[in-house]
Amino acid sequence: MKKVLVHDIIHDDAMALLQVVDGIEVVNVGRDDRRGLLAALQEADGVVLRYLPLDREAIESAPNLRIIARH
């Protein structure tokens, strides 16, 4: 199963759309949870951001990452 990480919050309707897609697990990490972000990225296939940056350390901690998207 693919894992999509949502960092911070996105619109409720967008989150609902992601949660009903077969074959993906949606994980939400709060804006101030740096440790949780780095841990979740280790297994993430995709990440959805709103305004927050995704720095080099974060990207390098995500060996399976295939897509970074802005909401």
List CB contacts of 68: < 8 A, sequence separation 6 or more: 46, 47, 49, 54, 59
Q: What are phi and psi of 28, to 5 degrees?
A: -105, 130
Mean pLDDT by 10 residues, the chain (71 residues): 95 94 96 96 96 95 97 88
Q: Is the pTM of this model over 0.75?
A: yes
- Residue 47 pLDDT: 97
- Residue 44 pLDDT: 98
- Residue 13 pLDDT: 95
